[in-house]
Amino acid sequence: MNTQETIKQQVTTHPVVLYMKGTPQAPQCGFSAHAVKVLNACGVDNLFAVDVLAEPEIRQGIKEYSSWPTIPQLYINGEFVGGSDIVTEMYQSGELQKLLQK
C-alpha cells in the first residue's frame, strides 16, 4: 500500500483522525497540543492519532492528500475538517461538537 492509500484507509476506517506532531499524551508542538485539548473538551474518546514526526512519508503525504500545508490536520468521518485555527473556531461556535455527534 502506498502512502496515499494508507492515509485514505486511516481516515475512512476511523471516525476521528488527527495527524499531529507527537502523540495525544505528549504533543510536540503547541498547535497539536491545542487540537488535542479541543477534542478532549468535546469528549472524543476514540481519537486515532498519527505522529507525523515518527512517519516522515505520512508527514508529506497528508499535505498532498488534503492540499493543506500545515499540521495538525483533523478528519471526521472521512472528511477533512481543518487545522488548529479552524478546529478552534468550529469549537467556539459549536459546529465541531455537532459534527462529532453525527
The verdict on whether residue 42 carries a ligand-binding annotation is: no
Q: Are 30 and 36 in contact (CB under 8 A)?
A: no
Amino acid at site 31: F
Distance of alpha carbon 87 from alpha carbon 91, whole angstroms:
6
Helices marked H in the chain: 3-13, 30-41, 56-66, 84-93, 95-101
Binding residues for [2Fe-2S] cluster: 29
Binding residues: 29
